[in-house]
Amino acid sequence: WLVALGSCLFTICSLFALESSTNSFDGARIAAAVPSGVGFMGSAMLWSGKRQMEDGGAQNQVHGSTTAAAVWITASVGIAAGGQQFFISMYVSILATVVLKYASRAEKAAADNAALRATLHKRATSAFVAGS
């Protein structure tokens, strides 16, 4: 929640600076820079590695993308709250919480289903080729 708090503070400061400034000042640039900075921070959370396959090969994998995306969404919630868009910030907070809680289960079910489909397809293809 520190990312949301910081993003909210940047947004509020940019709004107040815009109102109180006598110079030509574009306060939206401060809030617009938050996603770039948080994206840079999120990119540091990404790392890749290789996973050994059953057939002896290796598969490249990227880790940390969910964490990086969650931090980025947290920043957007802070910007929305700082801009007094409280309904949107609450809605996105709840939606992100639900997605983060249940997405791994849905991905696992989809992967299991894909593995089952691949096995059935392989058996059906083998039976078709053997019957030809």
User: What does the pLDDT look like over 91-129, one tens digit per residue?
Assistant: 989 998 998 888 777 667 766 776 666 666 666 666 555
What is the pLDDT of the chain when averaged over all its residues?
Answer: 77
Q: Is 8 exposed, middle or buried (0-12, 13-18, 19+ CB in 10 A)?
A: buried
Distance, in Å, from the CA atom of 10 to the CA atom of 4, rounded to the nearest integer, reads 10
- Amino acid 61: pLDDT: 75
Query: Residue 111: in which H helix or E strand, if any?
Result: helix 86-131
- Amino acid 94: pLDDT: 93
- Amino acid 65: pLDDT: 79
Which segments of the chain are extended strands (E)?
47-52, 58-63
Tokens of 105: 């289960």
Distance, in Å, from the CA atom of 27 to the CA atom of 73, rounded to the nearest integer, reads 21
Domain locations in the chain as residue ranges: 2-107
Q: What phi-psi label fits residue 75: left (phi over 0), alpha (psi between -120 and 50 degrees) or beta?
A: alpha
Q: What is the pLDDT of residues 24-51, one digit of tens each?
A: 667 677 778 888 888 888 778 777 777 7
Q: Is the pLDDT of residue 58 over 70?
A: yes
